[in-house]
Amino acid sequence: MKHTAPATCGQQHTGVVLMNMGGPEKRDDVRPFLFNLFSDRQIIRLGPRLLQKPLAWLIARKRAPKSSATYAKIGGGSPITAITRQQQQALQEALSMNGRFTVTTAMRYWYPFTDEAVGQLLDAGVDRVVALTLYPHYSKATTGSSINELRRQLAVAKPSLPLTEILFWPDQPDYIAALADLVEQGLQRFSGQAVDIVYSAHSLPVSFIEEGDPYVEHLQRTINALERLTGKPGKICYQSRSGPVQWLAPSTPEMIEDLAGQGCRAILMVPISFVSDHVETLYEIDIAYRSLAADKGIRLESTRGLNTHPRFIHGLKQLVLEHVQAA
């Protein structure tokens, strides 16, 4: 049998930065994590710019006890950093046959921060950088904030370093195939029972969408591609609201209430905007929303995060290679 060598991307050394939110890993991390989050004016503007950090400090102090109690229910902290590190290693291994790559992680609101990722790439002597968001659907509050921070850090550290940006990929084929696999696995748990598929995404203020944020459009692209593959329709709702503004609707609790009123007895919830298991999946869906559904006589099961699903990692690899070769 004839074997062909894998395609490579020349002799250039490419740094890949996986961008994500991050999360507190232990109880003492919760308050400073919240402070970092609420200090970001791209997510929320807390009065005049000069008051942003003082107000963020007050909000973090007020919310920390409740948030700490929530994290205690899933083991004391968020697993998102550990899972992202696993994704980083899996992608590093997947790219190893295609050239010289160094993959790093840059979290926006907790360690490892963006400056650490940039420092690692400079120490490794990379010739170019690929920024790869781990948010499939673009929003200025997620990928937008992360890429702005990466641009800022690179401008300070080495402005001449070429930067390629992968800012959204809502219908990347391998990502969709991995989601479809998780949906099929989830449906098998119901042993043929009639099931409503519910896609739950992180909510955003409606004002973001009115100002041109493509988040909802990107979610719909994912859903359309997924349903073409599975042949099974679902309904979209939004979780994780906070603050007195108008949020995307319906909320996930509202969707559960509505389905209960329609006589639904089984829900497979697909956390469609999350690629890693963390507090929104492990607590909100698996504990809070499951309990709400059970109170209404509904069995609620959820698909796991994509985490290191082989097809998902292959999709990340393809994104990197396609953008590097096009650069």
Tens digits of per-residue pLDDT, 262-311? 999 999 999 999 999 999 999 999 999 999 999 999 999 999 999 999 99
Q: What is the pLDDT of residue 5?
A: 37
Asked if 308 and 187 touch (Cβ cutoff 8 Å), the reply is no
Q: What is the mean pLDDT of residues 90-106?
A: 97
Question: Has 13 been labeled as part of a binding site?
Answer: no
- 141-193 pLDDT, tens digit each: 999 999 999 999 999 999 999 999 999 999 999 999 999 999 999 999 999 89
4 pLDDT band (50/70/90 cuts)? very low
Query: What is the tens place of the pLDDT at every residue in 21-40?
Result: 999 999 999 999 999 999 99
Residue 283 lies in a domain: yes
Half-sphere exposure of 105 (CA within 13 A, CB side): 23
Indicate whether 8 pLDDT > 70.
Answer: no
Q: Quick one: pLDDT at residue 3?
A: 34
Where do the DSSP E strands lie in the chain? 13-20, 100-107, 128-133, 163-166, 196-202, 234-239, 266-271, 299-302
Helix residue spans in the chain (DSSP H): 30-38, 52-72, 80-95, 114-124, 145-157, 173-188, 206-210, 215-230, 252-261, 279, 290-295, 310-326
165 is in an annotated binding site: no
**Of 33, 141, 132, the residue nearest 78 (C-alpha):** 33
**Does 122 have pLDDT greater than 60?**
yes
- Residue at 231 is within a domain: yes
How sure is the predictor about 46, in pLDDT bands with cuts at 50, 70 and 90?
confident
Whether 122 maps to a domain, the answer reads: no
Please report whether residue 87 resides in a domain: no
Q: How far apart are CA 114 and CA 101, in angstroms?
A: 18
Quote the radius of gyration of the chain (alpha carbons, Å): 20
Secondary element (H or E) of residue 59? helix 52-72
Determine the structural domain holding residue 242 and report its residue range. 173-302
Does residue 79 have a cis bond before it (omega within 30 degrees)?
no
Amino acid symbol at 73: K
* Least confident range of 39-43, 195-199, 200-204, 263-267: 39-43
pTM: 0.93
CA distance 165 to 327: 10
What's the pLDDT at 47? Answer: 84
123 assigned to some structural domain: no
Look at residue 3 and tell me if it is in a domain: no
**Rounded CA separation 104/116 (Å):** 9
Smallest CA-to-CA distance from 105 within 17, 207, 39, 176 is with: 17
The span from the CA of 46 to the CA of 40, in Å, is: 9
Domain count, the chain: 2
The whole-angstrom separation of Cα 274 and Cα 135 is 7
Residue 11: predicted pLDDT: 81
Query: Bigger pLDDT: 1 or 146?
Result: 146
b/e per residue 13-27 (b: at least 16 CB within 10 A): bbbbbbbbbbbbbee
Mark whether 291 and 181 lie in a shared domain: yes
Phi-psi domain of 45 (left: phi exceeds 0; alpha: psi -120 through 50; beta: other): beta
Q: Are residues 293 and 179 in the same domain?
A: yes
Structure-block tokens of residue 30: 């919760």
Q: Is residue 50 part of a domain?
A: yes
Tens of pLDDT along 220-278?
999 999 999 999 999 999 998 877 789 999 999 999 999 999 999 999 999 999 999 99
Let me know if residue 217 belongs to a domain: yes
**Residue 232: which CATH number?**
3.40.50.1400
pLDDT of the residue at 10: 54
